[in-house]
Structure 1
């Protein structure tokens, strides 16, 4: 027996020893603590070797005279609670103080360097859907001080503010705010400096206190005036062993080990820095342990009998509730704040509920900070765009799927029916189901016997019954009194002796109606024929007015041109675009609308429907079509022809399917993946096309609107110059043309803008901006940190003057391009965007240098 005990002891010690070597193990055991005093936690957090994931170790300090205290890591940041569902760690707010007689103070505020915690974290919940997780800011309270928040890792000032008090303001609880955005796993220092209050006519200085607060969960006014002391700051936590879900999956350290769990990327400043684990829809629990995500435990509607159903003036009906056992699941839990007068109904303990509609499936909210933030726990709630209204569903599944489990199905009561609903907002479409009472019933479809019969006969203003009404279960009957007949749901009943007269009247009425219908049909047919003849005449007039005969002569001179270019009829265009249907619109711009069309020979084309063209410009338009029809260059969008039977002529181009250079360079959800070789090749092809237009064609063509959105890319990323709506033809004996200024800001030649003289160097400037976009990945007008919107070309010239020419280069370009290539390209861009056009190279020279 003694030997058995010794063997068991050895086995236990061996298992503990093996746990200590696996700090990232999810095999939590009964030996691992799950709380420290009143604060509970779960894996990945833990106390002791082998009980936590790397970076999530906790320290519990016991005190003889007070409750145990919980700390992150080695014990510098005190924890007040941990929210496993939302991914928050609530901490005792870090504070820094400066005495009334002190002139300055420097002190550490918080140190998160190398820890998996963030003050500025976003969660990617879907490919184009993001959710902010953090809500902590630093407040500087007191009078006459300037505060700086410094990132000790980079030694950069993140935020600055002044806390001032006016001389006529006797209160000393003024404050300013330091933004904690753009801070992640870093160490932050506060630098306080006293301001000379005499020069600024301020009140005497006071002591200064800097405190980090979760502004959503704290009474800010109470903190400022000292009446509230029990406050918290919030940290968001994430897995930092890999930069994204894609990297982490299929590795030994992947954290989302539970079945029915999901992985979401964690982002900071639009860059993925790690990932988070969540339970799938309709599941709850801990996704970081095996079988941690369990199906939601639902409260049956019958169990909600006897629950409080009112808070102030608002009815709180199932599936919502105020107490455990009174709501369907935690997402429908509400709180009634009875300390306010009248009592206030709260959603997520934060947003004031002003109305709940079971019929519409909506909750109307108010938020004291001016906007609504939705947490992860609200999986069945969707915030509608630009409204303080939350739409909800019972579950994120269809009726068909929900009925497979009648235990959890919410619409299984008598006279309750299920319907699918789709909620749409900026984040996408969300499909779920709700319940409603069957027709003829009203009430709450989520509880037994909640749908009661509507007594239609008691509401005569809503009832269509001109006879005797009898209420039935779910409906009503309407009959004529004795001695009368008719259709009492449509019209009053008529005495029986008047029935013959009524039938005669009906016969005469029907006959007259048929005659009138025949007359109207004839008139309609005649009108259609007249309208068709009129439209044919209008099309013919438009064709002559738009010089169709002249264009036919111009393109017939060359057999090649006449084969490539065709004058289409309006009927062909309407058939190709399904009568210019809105679903065929490819884009709208300053010059008109572009439609996708399919010709009778199955060629896919782009049809440009321009805005109004002056009659004086028609001759030039015809000449331009004739010239463009002769252009046969592989990097210029081909013109297939035009249609002159409309008031404004239509142009028909080849269809390029892979979007624009703008789409490939400036991606909303991340950085461009265009390689340096692709970017360089696109630049060479576009430069060759513009050089061809300027000098190689039969007549010079200045594009006048060169920009990345007018460089189309096909499936092989071959560049095609498009959109000649602003272009001008220049005779070979002229070098410029005086025109009204037209173009796109950011690409517009400054010299052309001020003089109205359009030259080939105007296109060179615009092309230089495209080269800058390829080099930097930035838009022509872009926003920088702590700066207003900047002009890319002007900012580039400034960095060149300051010998910081590599500061703007895109990271991918820096990795793939050689230093020699970058220096040559920067030099070429510098020449292209010179302010004086005479000092810029020609497009032919640009093509050669590229």
Structure 2
């Protein structure tokens, strides 16, 4: 009732103010002459300036400048292209240019040959969007431009969140146009054999100003799969063969017309373009169209009259409007938060929190305001990384604690959020990233994790920092920690959990460079009796279990395969997918298996590993990785066996290094910190081997037989 009364009160004030100042505003307004006398000068909200015109042939200079007004939208009649703006003083026209879709049979083709129009080299760009694609622009009968767009995952890019600074080759690319482009014909090819993939990709000529206006265009392209066109700019000239000569020069004062070769690829004069002289603005193509720009003094006098006559009413209007706005905004925000809270399962979560259920009572419900303050309103400078599910930001809570905040994609549903929340609530392990809480007050849910400061394993392996090299001991420890975490997920957690996306980018390193398994958005909880999970194939190329790819049945051994690829990365320092290798062994897993079977594994092992590791230990790890990469899942070891074997190699590696007792105690201490992980599993054989064997009496080959590849 209060809001309704306030609305009526301030509505009356607004009406009275408009009535009182309307005559002054009308007197100050001056409608510039843009069209010929007697000709219609607008279509919808677009001004139609001569030489363009509608209806009567006397209203436009030539048929190429004829505008058809259809459903209050102007179109270039010769090409049926919708016009969004006409700029006569720089001789350009903005149109809606169609987007080329690689996944549709309909081509985006426009031929302007023989007309006074060309695509603007100054105001346009050619852009392609796709994953590992080559975008080509064909014009005038040949390829005139192109660019390359790459990414890590062959995913649909319609939902990619671009930055505000343009495209630089990741998910999208851009290049400038050459001169004299009068034909628009785009094509897209995959990088490699030239065949088209099933994923949809896009190419377009687009206005650079639209892209650069506060990143507005780039942000809109995040929804490119739902777009059919983008703004583009055509330049034009008055061609001499149109029969329009220098009569325009004599009829337009304060204007200047210069010779132009816009539509001539040989740079010979083909027409002319006009502009208003400095200090004048308007339409240089009609008589009296260029008017002097009003000086600051004149403008000041006019607006001073308006300001004095309406000052009191304006103050009241602004103050009342501001108070009304604040009241309405506060109420809308409150209702919006309540709606999202219910939609994202907030009531159910509150019920679980109050009931004191196990694990759930440890999760904090953050407010949206808290997380906005922590991340500086989700500032782009706070972005830690982006993935298929959303963006992760670095934040600092009011108590000074550093956290990572994951914001799921707007276009998606909350299934990934709910899944990750439920899965992480079942996990309590020091080598799994810890979930601290969530926020359900926004349109998309937010998850809050502990902050892991030292990036991911991929960065340290493939972008090595000389200040902190990846030593053999560190690689072996990280492999053991990842294996222990997967062993926990598969066998120790209250219900078995399949991670489904094990890869080096999902292994984070904390302040002590201990491994933390992250990104559980695609993970699944299965019953103890289940032998597999039948799903749509999902994962990362290079780490994906071939058996799962063929059968759509994901098992615990599928995680073992992905771990095997990570283990080979640690051993060789090479990427899971590399374009340097031949097509047959482009994947690291295939390359490694071939090298093992040809007894050439030491040719691909990282130089630091060869220098620091014992040959027997390297062979042992290589054999373990080889078994993890078996094509037949039943022949792969389970994560319990992998974990025990890696722990044994670590112990023997320390013993061989000459400080057996000290390092043995260190490993024993590490194991005891997660004592619940090993309940029910015996280490007696390992301990007995270590304590009864000395370096002088037995070699490693006697302690742990090395598998031989047949």
Task: Output the TM-score relative to the length of structure 1.
Answer: 0.40
Which has the higher Rg, Structure 1 or Structure 2?
A: 1
Task: Output the TM-score relative to the length of structure 2.
Answer: 0.48
Higher RCO (CA < 8 A, seq sep 6+): 2
Looking at secondary structure, tell me which structure has more helix per residue: 2
